[in-house]
């Protein structure tokens, strides 16, 4: 996949940057639970991420059980 340079001013942070989630969404699919950012990072509703190089970033929010307690 060829990644086009960011056209926003200021440019979006690259996928490897700690603030990568600040990039502009270019595709949003709430019915499927994901969004694609300008820097080619896929972010998911559970706060997980998939970077362009295939690296998986685990969700950062705690999971809640059906009893309502955090895991």
Collapsed DSSP state (helix, strand, coil) of residue 21: helix
Look up residue 43 and give its two tokens: 């972010």
CA 41 to chain centre: 5
Residue 64 contacts residue 48 (beta carbons within 8 Å): no
Which pLDDT score is estimated for 65? 66
At residue 9, does pLDDT exceed 90? no
Reported as a single tens digit per residue, the pLDDT across 13-55 is: 999 999 999 999 999 999 999 999 999 999 999 999 999 999 9
Which pLDDT score is estimated for 10? 87
Which pLDDT score is estimated for 68? 61
Q: How far apart are the first and last CA of the chain?
A: 37
Pick from 36, 54, 50, 38: which is nearest to 4 by CA?
38
């Amino acid at each position: 996949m060829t990644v086009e340079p960011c056209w926003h001013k200021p440019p979006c942070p690259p996928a490897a940057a700690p603030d990568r989630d600040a990039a502009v969404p270019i595709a949003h699919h709430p019915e499927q639970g994901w969004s694609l950012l300008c820097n080619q990072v896929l972010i998911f509703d559970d706060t997980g991420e998939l970077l362009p190089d295939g690296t998986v970033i685990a969700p950062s929010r705690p999971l809640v059980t059906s009893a309502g307690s955090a895991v």
